[in-house]
């Protein structure tokens, strides 16, 4: 049975339909084929090309790193949109991670999609971006700090 997911790179969001090992993404021609690898990563085939992905489950959904890229993708059930909108005042850690950069201070004005904090988990850097234009009310983390999944890193007004 097919299910729908919202997939985001922190700037844009797409609807993906997952049907077994086939994934189709709105606006992208052709399907992606997923194959589990013995090392815990995934082979992703699309349009004659194969990439490697690592995944990590978090309270916000699934984080996906592609081909060692610093860009982390997030996937969550399409029905989670309302719940996600309710937490737009808090930037939370997607998983247990180390804070490697804090790019904002209390009182800073940020635009939607601005990187506020960069964390590292499983040898993958993940930029955490502002879900909307806002003012930073309070930064709750510091560089080098180990944070647990769902810990509040930044409060927004």
Which of 52, 80, 108 represents a domain boundary (last residue)? 80
On the CB side of 15, how many CA atoms lie within 13 Å of its CA? Answer: 9
Query: What residues contact 151, with CB distance under 8 A and at least 6 apart?
Result: 92, 93, 140, 141
Closest residue by Cα to residue 132 from 153, 116, 151, 149: 116
Q: Evaluate the CA torsion angle 136, 72, 88, 134 in order and state its sign.
A: positive
pLDDT in tens, 63-85: 787 777 655 677 777 654 444 44
| Residue 70 sits in the same domain as residue 128 | no
| Residue 19 sits in the same domain as residue 37 | yes
Give pLDDT, residue 122.
80
pLDDT in tens, 6-16: 887 766 778 88
Which of 80, 114, 134 represents a domain boundary (last residue)? 80
pLDDT in tens, 90-115: 888 878 899 999 999 999 999 988 99
Does the pLDDT at position 116 exceed 80? Answer: yes
- What gap in Å lies between CA 21 and CA 44, rounded to an integer? 10
């Amino acid at each position: 049975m097919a299910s729908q997911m919202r997939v985001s790179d922190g700037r844009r969001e797409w609807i993906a339909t997952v049907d077994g090992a086939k994934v189709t993404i709105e606006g992208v021609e052709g399907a992606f084929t997923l194959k589990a690898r013995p090392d815990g990563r995934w082979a992703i085939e699309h349009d004659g090309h194969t990439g490697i992905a690592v995944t990590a489950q978090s309270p916000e959904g699934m984080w996906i790193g592609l081909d060692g890229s610093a860009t982390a993708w997030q996937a969550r059930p399409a029905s989670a949109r309302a719940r996600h909108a309710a937490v737009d005042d808090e930037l939370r850690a997607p998983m247990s991670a180390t804070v490697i950069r804090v790019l904002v201070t209390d009182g800073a004005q940020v635009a939607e999609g601005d990187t506020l904090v960069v964390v590292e988990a499983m040898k993958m850097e993940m930029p955490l971006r502002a879900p909307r234009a806002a003012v930073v009310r309070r930064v709750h983390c510091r560089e080098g700090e180990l944070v647990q999944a769902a810990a509040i890193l930044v409060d927004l007004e």
